[in-house]
Structure 1
């Protein structure tokens, strides 16, 4: 598989700046009121310069209960009220990804900045559509990939790119999270964007892409559960520089999440879950003990702070979560799905291997 041939470069902005930067308090609206929205609400309250203004959910009672719990002034049944709320600057979208595109486009057309839970959309086409619309309307759009914003990950990437382990030769990353099989569970429901690759595989794919680079060739192995969703996926790719990445995700097994990036002059072993690394050890040459480095870990707060920084500086996209990388990673995921024969019912065209 050659994922480079399946992607269209992210559109270039006509201007590198937002239509209206926000130098004061960012007034947030939350679209959807699930568990992840509770975590984001706590992060926004903890952040500097952020304030919770509104929450919307399909179930009005759920939205009202969420608002009461978090001290939010306004709640809406359905999303139209949130789109029209003039006292909301930015919206965090935490619904499941098949619904991200229409919701994000509605927010963007209303002039609101959007932080969209990963994966940003269901397909490459939808991803590009959202990002292009944000650029056209002069608003900030960012995938809520917290891993990229964590100081420990940024430190690892900086060390790799400045050559602390020499020329990178390979990277391996695995993320396994066991779920009991239930055809109605979101992870196994194709109608709700199910599949291990999109839900948990996006994390090791993102980390490997950061550390090694984009594929020139992609090899895919995997299996599907009875609903047709992927539950085990192994990816291997080579970059134009000759480095190899190996990625594994599995929604049916347990196991340690281990990430290692290897270079000509040393290697880095990353400790902790792939989506939220806790520390790493940098080994130089034949040094087996290495330098142990611990990172600050504040989860959602890091991406909220980055979003606020971009708004203050008037940026159309985050340098930590650039649009081109969001599109490139979605291209890898979609290419792998094509190989495995995983197709979502929302997709207009059949997938061809």
Structure 2
């Protein structure tokens, strides 16, 4: 009899506190706010960004009542419960710390910071202030991720031996663009590599060591990287690139079965569990049919954050602070090795 995949355990968006969100940045924030308003009881009530005209247009598009003229004004707004930091990577640290100091819960876009040291400072500050700090690694909160956690907890794969994950795309070189500019937090590892590294961590935990190979762009940022991450008796292989179109899939391989996450693995897609012998394979599949559009899956992380706030938590139980710091430490070491190799 073939092994079947468990069903995801879903949170009812109406069962969590309806929080008021302040949004810093209007780029990547667009799909998130759309999902927030379409699929949850959460509401964005204030926004701030560098370009005032674009910010006002963003507010009109999403029905946001208040446009602030400074980040500090938004953070200090008494109508804001949660601050969503959706600015470029190098700004995350200072803006998250300011929000925490003001007593606000904070959701920080990935990567949470530019280094493990910065990530630790943010999470330590949140704990000291008694507010929730969460990275916007939306993958952790998708229904398929709950299925994966159940599969691992139930031992359906046997002993996990190998994890593979990748995220890479081709982006034309432009020294001034944030992806290629070191001062703007450029490089494949920080922008895309955080996804496969986080996936590997979610299955195996922190690696025992980090071995990275790849290449640098003329601006000195990593344009591609392949990481070997052993952990206990298993190994993870994580790849990222700005110069190659990778399949954007993930797999967990064990002694009894293999679990494949469909592309793009970081968004709501589907799963295939393959078991049986090499000559008589049996498969079980599960497809995420929760929403019509991929980006609407961003709503899940907001619902979970609100639930955690309601429970009085200071960190996500499926993406705890220690793991956030560990993932950033892996990226730190991979970047160090690539730069040293030239």
Give, in angstroms, the shift of residue 294 of structure 1. 1.3
Give, in angstroms, the shift of residue 152 of structure 1. 0.6
1:27 aligns with 2:20: yes
Q: Answer yes or no: is the 8 Å Cα contact 2:158–2:254 preserved in 1.
A: yes
Q: Distance in 2 between matches of 1:224 and 1:23?
A: 45
Q: 1:341 aligns with which of 332, 339, 342?
A: 339
Q: Answer yes or no: is the 8 Å Cα contact 2:16–2:307 preserved in 1.
A: no
Q: Answer yes or no: is the 8 Å Cα contact 1:63–1:77 preserved in 2.
A: no
Q: Distance in 2 between matches of 1:284 and 1:259?
A: 17
- Uncovered stretches (5+) of structure 2, i.e. residues with no partner: 1-14
Using the size of structure 1 for normalisation, the TM-score is: 0.87
Which residue of the partner structure matches residue 331 of structure 1?
329
Which residue of the partner structure matches residue 186 of structure 1?
178
Alignment of structure 1 residues 195-210 onto 2, 5 Å: 195-210=187-202
Which residue of the partner structure matches residue 253 of structure 2?
262
Which residue of the partner structure matches residue 234 of structure 2?
243
Q: Sort the Cα spacing of 1:171 and 1:24 in 2 relative to 1 into closer, same or farther, 3 A.
A: closer
Which residue of the partner structure matches residue 346 of structure 1?
none
Which residue of the partner structure matches residue 304 of structure 1?
302
Q: Distance in 1 between matches of 2:268 and 2:243?
A: 22
Give, in angstroms, the shift of residue 28 of structure 1. 0.7
Which residue of the partner structure matches residue 275 of structure 2?
284
1:146 aligns with 2:134: no
Q: Answer yes or no: is the 8 Å Cα contact 2:22–2:75 preserved in 1.
A: no
Q: Answer yes or no: is the 8 Å Cα contact 1:47–1:304 preserved in 2.
A: no
Give, in angstroms, the shift of residue 89 of structure 1. 0.6
Q: Distance in 1 between matches of 2:172 and 2:162?
A: 33
**What SS does the aligned partner of 1:256 have?**
coil
Q: Distance in 2 between matches of 1:272 and 1:204?
A: 12
1:321 aligns with 2:319: yes
Q: Distance in 2 between matches of 1:227 and 1:87?
A: 42
Which residue of the partner structure matches residue 218 of structure 2?
226
Q: 1:77 aligns with which of 63, 69, 79?
A: 69
1:157 aligns with 2:149: yes
**What SS does the aligned partner of 2:20 have?**
strand
Q: Distance in 2 between matches of 1:25 and 1:292?
A: 34
Q: Answer yes or no: is the 8 Å Cα contact 1:170–1:212 preserved in 2.
A: no
Q: Distance in 1 between matches of 2:158 and 2:268?
A: 22
Q: Distance in 2 between matches of 1:261 and 1:70?
A: 39
Give, in angstroms, the shift of residue 156 of structure 1. 1.4
- Uncovered stretches (5+) of structure 1, i.e. residues with no partner: 1-21, 343-351
Aligned structure 1 segments of 4 or more residues deviating by more than 6 angstroms = none
Using the size of structure 2 for normalisation, the TM-score is: 0.90
Give, in angstroms, the shift of residue 138 of structure 1. 0.7
Q: Answer yes or no: is the 8 Å Cα contact 1:47–1:305 preserved in 2.
A: no
- What is the alpha-carbon root mean square deviation over aligned residues? 1.8
Q: Distance in 1 between matches of 2:249 and 2:34?
A: 29
Q: Sort the Cα spacing of 1:27 and 1:205 in 2 relative to 1 into closer, same or farther, 3 A.
A: same
Q: Distance in 2 between matches of 1:99 and 1:49?
A: 28
Greater mean alpha carbon deviation, residues 126-135 or residues 156-165: 156-165
Q: Distance in 1 between matches of 2:65 and 2:250?
A: 43
